[in-house]
Chain A
Amino acid sequence: MTAISAGATGRLRALRSTVTAGRGRSNDLSFLPVLAALAIIWLVFGSMNENFISPANLTNLTLQIAATGTIAVGVVLVLLIGEIDLSVGALSGFAAGVMAVLNVRAGLPGLVAILAAVALGVAIGVFNGLWITRTAVPSFVVTLAGLLAWQGALLAVLGGTGTVNITDPGITRLAQGFLPAWLSWVALVVVLLVVAAGSVQQRRRRVAKGLGVPNPSWALLRVAIAAGVGSVGVAVLNADRGVPYALVLLLGLIVVFDTVIRRTRLGRHIMSVGGNAEAARRAGINVNGIRVFVFAAAGGAAALGGVVAASRLFAVNQSSGAGDLLLNAIAAAVIGGTSLFGGRGSVWAAFLGALVIGSISNGMDLLGYVTSIKFLVTGAVLLLSVTVDARARERRRKAGGPA
């Protein structure tokens, strides 16, 4: 009897150490692979071409990734619930086309046209979500149909000319305009103060409840890193034309949805649907409502991305939203660390992943590589990052033991 209990205690101890070891993979560390990839890419291209890490090129880079990153925010949300949306590219083109027609041909103010485009994107997202939840047709098929249909819709709204040029500064300023230098610094300071205050408040609450608090130097280090990255970024962009409005929009969108995902009930329920939809349903969560919301958000983000792309191009034409835009948005979400299997990932993946893809494309352009090589390299990076995700998942499954 004592022998049995001694064996049991030994096993308990082994178990406990396994659990403690498993704690390492926390939120902060999940960005390490993509940050490492980014560092390598920048080092390689920086050493091969001195123009790569120049303020002018880095400003161009942020403008190049703005549309992809904005669309990828929606893709991340959809991947988090374990679904896919293949219509975001075509939808972004269609929404931009509607905006252009409303602005140029119907004479609506730029902002109104933009809001109408985003509303259209949300409405189409709601349609996608309802169709998927009501008919149980897989999201892959429903949104594949959307990919074809919205391309057709774009051609229809553009009409015979096939292109609509945009001159309204209310729209073009988005991707052609920049924050004044002083405003960018003020904005940075405000953001840092909010982050620091939030950290202090969380600390106070944990202390009040008698919960363990991390070493204060860790919290300080986090704020210091944010301050360092932020100031270097702002300084570099200000050395050229400034911080683009499109980048502010993308980062703002990410902060909003990141907060929703990590700190609200809605976000928790989104993650639970991605983790185990049946468990979420039994916990009283409106699983289909969550799905419809996520597709609506993805539609809205896609439309906004289309608006940014149109603003950058001064036009909407028959190829808006086509080409590699959809694939890059999905690849960005995945390369950024969002799991294709649902329930794991961060909204920041959209930005980091888009930065990786954008850097590769930008760097290879600088070095004079042809498009074929660019696609091959981007494909290899995508394959690598999905493999990393699949292997990590396998490791977790094994670490969990039976059940």
Chain B
Amino acid sequence: MTPASALESDRPAPDTGSYLRLTGASKSYGAVRALADVDLELRAGEVTALVGDNGAGKSTLVKALAGVHALDTGDFVIDGKPTTISSPHDAVAQGIATVYQDLALCENLDVVANLYLGQEPRHGRGRLLDEEEMEFNTRRLLDELAVRTLASVRTAVASLSGGQRQTVAIARALLGTPRVMLLDEPTAALGVAQTAQVLELIRRLRDRGIAVLVISHNLGDVFKVADRAVVLRLGTLAGEYRIADTNQDEIVAAITGADVLNQNERNHA
């Protein structure tokens, strides 16, 4: 029996679409327990929202998935195989792409140059950049994502709006044909229209069969786009909900621990 199937036997109804499974994730920074025995499963073609208050451990969990900070303990099963992620390179090799909140774009470069930054193709054996190949693929990718808000892929990122920049950052992450996409607060600091654009883009990622993990503070957005919500509180798993079967009050209660408080009050009474 492989460890993977052993794991699956522990859980009810193994999902065939499961791409990444993390069990028993723990991480301490000195005396501070940032994560304690957290389980997380990401399924292909599903949007999972990771919610929780500040300091709940969301960032620590995402950094572990992205390979930025290794966990103290925690077992990864990716695509059915037990594996480890100890560097950003490992994460990319496992098909995990991350779009951080700061997007890491070069404002002075155009959309095409940003998409291909660090992996530019060249003409044959020559030294010169294959601009046509880059521009063609950029356009095709944006068309596939039905992005109609970018008038020209030769626009410098400096003159793009926040939503357009988010689109560029996501498109760049897609170039590596990832299986998992981690999006850190993709709608923070965006207006209503731009938020709608980005949420639509996230749905398209899901339709491409990508397992999407969205960190968000905005429960409205979570309920618009996510299939599942995983709630962290003080570094522990506070609940996992199917969006179709829950409501915002229940999630808020899980985030703040209100249900525990209520229970305690009842016990006292």
Interface check A206, CB cutoff 8 A: yes
B117 touches A283 (CB 8 A): yes
Q: How far is the CB of A269 from chain B (nearest CB, A)?
A: 8
B132 touches A275 (CB 8 A): no
**With A265-B129, A276-B104, A278-B104: A209-B136 Cβ-Cβ less than 8 Å:** yes
Interface check B232, CB cutoff 8 A: no
Interface check A16, CB cutoff 8 A: yes
Partner of A22, one of B118, B120, B155: B155
A279 touches B159 (CB 8 A): no
B106 touches A343 (CB 8 A): yes
Q: How far is the CB of B15 from chain A (nearest CB, A)?
A: 32
Chain A: residues with Cβ within 8 Å of the partner, total of 47
Nearest opposing residue in chain B for A284, CB measure: B118
Chain B residues with CB under 8 Å of A208's CB are 132
Interface check B128, CB cutoff 8 A: yes
Interface check B55, CB cutoff 8 A: no
Chain B residues with CB under 8 Å of A210's CB are 136
In the complex, which residues 165-222 of chain B have their Cβ closer than 8 Å to any Cβ of chain A?
165, 189-193, 196-197
Interface check A268, CB cutoff 8 A: yes
In the complex, which residues 183-204 of chain A have their Cβ closer than 8 Å to any Cβ of chain B?
202
B132 touches A19 (CB 8 A): no
Nearest opposing residue in chain A for B117, CB measure: A283
In the complex, which residues 248-296 of chain A have their Cβ closer than 8 Å to any Cβ of chain B?
259, 263-265, 268-269, 271-272, 274-276, 278-280, 282-285
Q: How far is the CB of B150 from chain A (nearest CB, A)?
A: 7
A399 touches B158 (CB 8 A): yes
Interface check A222, CB cutoff 8 A: no
- Expressed in whole angstroms, the Cα–Cα distance for A209 and B151 within the complex equals 19
Interface check B78, CB cutoff 8 A: no
Chain A residues with CB under 8 Å of B191's CB are 11
Partner of A400, one of B109, B113, B161, B197: B161
Interface check A391, CB cutoff 8 A: no
Interface check B20, CB cutoff 8 A: no
Partner of B158, one of A12, A280, A342, A396: A396
Q: How far is the CB of B182 from chain A (nearest CB, A)?
A: 14
Q: Chain B contact residues: over half helix, strand or loop, or mixed?
A: loop
A19 touches B159 (CB 8 A): yes
Nearest opposing residue in chain B for A17, CB measure: B151
Interface check A401, CB cutoff 8 A: yes
Nearest opposing residue in chain B for A22, CB measure: B159
Q: Mark B72-89, 1 if CB is under 8 A from A, else 0.
A: 000000000000000000
A275 touches B106 (CB 8 A): yes
Q: How far is the CB of A346 from chain B (nearest CB, A)?
A: 12
Partner of A268, one of B107, B129, B158, B159: B129
A403 touches B189 (CB 8 A): yes
Chain A residues with CB under 8 Å of B158's CB are 396-397, 399-400
Q: How far is the CB of B91 from chain A (nearest CB, A)?
A: 12
Q: How far is the CB of A198 from chain B (nearest CB, A)?
A: 10
Interface centre among A209, A211, A285 (most CB of B within 10 A): A209
Chain A residues with CB under 8 Å of B161's CB are 15, 18-19, 400-403
Interface residues of A (CB under 8 A from B): 4, 7-8, 11-12, 15-16, 18-20, 22-23, 202, 205-206, 208-211, 259, 263-265, 268-269, 271-272, 274-276, 278-280, 282-285, 342-344, 396-397, 399-403
Jot down 21 A-B pairs with beta carbons below 8 A, ordered by A: A7-B193, A8-B193, A19-B151, A22-B155, A22-B159, A209-B132, A209-B136, A210-B136, A265-B122, A268-B113, A275-B107, A278-B104, A280-B106, A280-B117, A283-B104, A343-B106, A343-B109, A399-B159, A400-B158, A400-B160, A403-B162
